[in-house]
């Protein structure tokens, strides 16, 4: 009985999440200003048990090169064991890893953008990877939800 | 058994689109706010709460826009949504205006297409483009200098033409949009007949747009070199500089994930950039950060070094932005040239 109930929940939850993620590019807006939004994004990534490896400051490079731009960063994150196993077994996927989320300022708000890891099925398709892609998608959706609702 | 019935009842309530769609604000926040802003002030998307826009477009235009999107112009088509959900979002948006939604005649306007084309060239092309493909960039980009504060719509886009009636287009030409560069052409002296001619010309382009390519491209680019990873890295660096890019960072693939000094030295990432190209890409679509900075990954295995990168041409198809496609095709060619030179 318990299993039946759990299965029902899983089916409904899956149907509902599909309707939410019908696009390849996942995008979310935070009402917080950029520094606070950046901090909430990093916290959300850590809360989902990922290690932050680096923040690429795109805006700094552009400004130094003489261009006018608002704040723009790319946040890289991943899990060491996963990165090692995937780059050993499926090197073609290494070009997309670690995972990343771009974040940029729009006036006094911030927008975060991520690629739906479901895209990676075009890079490497294997039964062993399927669950990982699904989990990454779910985690990034959840991270972006935290980012969107952070106060 | 009763438990299952209760559970099913709860699940049906929550998954029923009619009931779920009562809250247009929730749906708007979920699907629209990221691009159009929480209050509809715009961002990656256009400012839909602008009075001179919202007061002058009918609900049918908003609903069809959600359904059809704008092929090749960032706004996706939300075909998976139920009618109830679309209606609910439009009702929510409509509350930003104190005026009732306008209603326009649905009949096509008759005019002289040839005269309309001449008038279009004279009055509209400077903002909307020669083929009515619209302005460059996305909705309202706050962070970079641009020629127009709000992107000029792609008037000959099939999504736009499927959403806007002739009467609505005419109304826009006659009254303009206060708060945008679109001025009233009635005030500039165009006659009713001349406006009809322009509308007829615009309408004649419906269904004439080139369909997006369905060609399936490889998701990544891969080359192979003989020798060691150190040799391959030097060759890649040289090729990057030769292609007018700047090397900005070389790191182990496992950098920051394992203790310093214990990284796998046979897996390396090299990041590089051409700031002119980067600026151009961000001006076209600020979401391109997803494949920034430029990067090649090197992995040595069994005496061979694999050079790997994403394929920008494949990635760009995710953005529904035709302008970006062109730039990313160039990027793919550059990546290939760099990797080819490095593996000669």
Is residue A32, in this structure, part of any structural domain at all? yes
Residues B136-157: tens digit of each pLDDT = 777 776 455 555 567 889 999 9
Is residue A7, in this structure, part of any structural domain at all? no
Is residue A123, in this structure, part of any structural domain at all? yes
Q: Which two tokens stand for residue B199?
A: 């509308």
Is residue A8, in this structure, part of any structural domain at all? no
Q: Which of A16, A53, A123 sits opposite B15 (nearest CB)?
A: A16
Report the domain count for chain A: 1
Strands B304-310 and B294-301: antiparallel
Is residue A116, in this structure, part of any structural domain at all? yes
CB contact at 8 A, B292 and A69:
no
- On chain A, the residues whose CB falls within 8 A of the CB of B301 are 91
Can you list the domains of chain B with their CATH numbers?
Answer: 13-203 (1.10.760.10), 220-342 (3.30.310.70)
**pLDDT tens digit at each of 151 positions of chain A:** 555 554 444 444 444 433 333 468 999 999 999 999 999 999 999 999 999 999 999 999 999 999 888 899 999 999 999 999 999 999 999 999 999 999 999 888 999 999 999 989 989 999 999 999 999 999 999 999 999 999 9
- On chain B, the residues whose CB falls within 8 A of the CB of A147 are none
Is residue A14, in this structure, part of any structural domain at all? no
Task: Give the domain range for residue A67.
Answer: 24-149
- On chain A, the residues whose CB falls within 8 A of the CB of B276 are 65
> How far apart are alpha carbons A1 and B139 in whole angstroms?
52
CATH number at residue A78: 3.30.310.70
- On chain B, the residues whose CB falls within 8 A of the CB of A92 are 220, 222, 308
> How far apart are alpha carbons B87 and B31 in whole angstroms?
14
Q: Which of B15, B219, B222 sits opposite A15 (nearest CB)?
A: B15
DSSP string, B268-297: EEEEEE-HHHHHHHHHH-GGGGGG-SEEEE
Q: Work out how many CB contacts closer than 8 A connect A with B.
A: 162
For residue A31, CA distances in Å to B104, B191, B315 come to 36, 46, 28
| Mutation choice for A interface testing from B80, B82, B144, B286 by most A CBs within 10 A | B286
* B143 with A119: Cβ contact below 8 A: no
Is residue A3, in this structure, part of any structural domain at all? no
Is residue A73, in this structure, part of any structural domain at all? yes
Preceding peptide of A68 cis, ω within 30°:
no
CB contact at 8 A, A109 and A17:
no
- Beta-carbon count within 10 A of A14 CB: 10
Min Cα–Cα distance to chain A from B290, Å: 6
Spatial CA neighbour of A110 closest among A53, A40, A58: A40
* B289 with A113: Cβ contact below 8 A: yes
> How far apart are alpha carbons B257 and A84 in whole angstroms?
10
Global pTM value: 0.84
User: ipTM beyond 0.90?
Assistant: no
Residues B74-107: tens digit of each pLDDT = 899 999 999 999 999 999 999 999 999 999 999 9
């Amino acid at each position: 009985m318990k299993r039946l109930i759990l299965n029902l929940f899983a089916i409904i939850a899956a149907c509902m999440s599909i309707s939410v993620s019908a696009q390849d590019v996942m995008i979310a807006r935070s009402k917080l200003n950029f520094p606070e939004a950046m901090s909430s994004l990093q916290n959300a990534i850590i809360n989902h048990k990922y290690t932050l490896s680096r923040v690429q400051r795109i805006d700094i490079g552009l400004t130094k090169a003489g261009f006018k731009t608002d704040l723009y960063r790319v946040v890289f994150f991943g899990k060491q064991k996963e990165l090692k196993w995937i780059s050993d077994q499926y090197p073609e996927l290494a070009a997309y890893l670690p995972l990343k989320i771009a974040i940029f300022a729009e006036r006094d708000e911030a927008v975060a953008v991520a690629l739906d890891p479901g895209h990676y099925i075009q890079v490497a398709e294997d039964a062993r990877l399927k669950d990982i892609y699904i989990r990454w998608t779910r985690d990034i959706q959840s991270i972006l939800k935290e980012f969107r609702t952070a106060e | 058994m009763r438990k299952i019935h209760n559970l099913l009842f709860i699940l049906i309530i929550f998954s029923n689109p009619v009931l779920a769609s009562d809250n247009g604000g929730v749906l708007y926040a979920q699907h629209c706010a990221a691009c159009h802003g929480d209050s509809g002030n715009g961002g990656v998307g256009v400012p839909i709460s602008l009075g001179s826009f919202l007061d002058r477009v009918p609900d049918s235009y908003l609903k069809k826009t959600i359904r059809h999107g704008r092929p090749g112009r960032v706004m996706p088509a939300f075909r998976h949504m139920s009618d109830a959900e679309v209606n609910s979002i439009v009702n929510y948006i409509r509350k930003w205006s104190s005026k009732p939604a306008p209603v326009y005649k649905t009949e096509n306007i008759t005019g002289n297409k040839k005269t309309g084309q001449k008038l279009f060239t004279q009055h509209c092309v400077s903002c909307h483009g020669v083929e009515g493909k619209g302005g460059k960039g996305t909705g309202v980009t706050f962070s970079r200098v641009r020629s127009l504060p709000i992107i000029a719509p792609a008037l000959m886009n099939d999504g736009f033409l499927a959403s806007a009636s002739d009467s609505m287009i005419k109304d826009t030409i006659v009254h303009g949009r206060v708060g945008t560069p679109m001025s009233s052409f009635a005030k500039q002296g165009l006659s009713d007949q001349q406006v009809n001619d322009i509308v007829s010309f615009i309408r004649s382009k419906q269904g004439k747009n080139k369909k997006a390519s369905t060609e399936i491209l490889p998701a990544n680019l891969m080359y192979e070199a003989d020798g060691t990873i150190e040799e391959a890295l030097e060759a890649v660096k040289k090729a990057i500089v030769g292609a007018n890019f700047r090397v900005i960072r070389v790191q182990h693939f496992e950098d920051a994930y394992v203790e310093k000094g214990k990284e796998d030295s046979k897996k390396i990432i090299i990041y590089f950039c051409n700031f002119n190209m980067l600026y151009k890409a961000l001006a076209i679509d600020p979401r391109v950060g997803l494949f920034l900075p430029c990067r090649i990954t090197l992995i040595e295995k069994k005496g061979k070094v694999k050079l790997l990168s994403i394929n920008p041409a494949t990635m760009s198809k995710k953005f529904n932005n035709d302008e970006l496609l062109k730039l990313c095709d160039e990027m793919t060619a550059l990546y290939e040239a760099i990797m080819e030179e490095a593996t000669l």
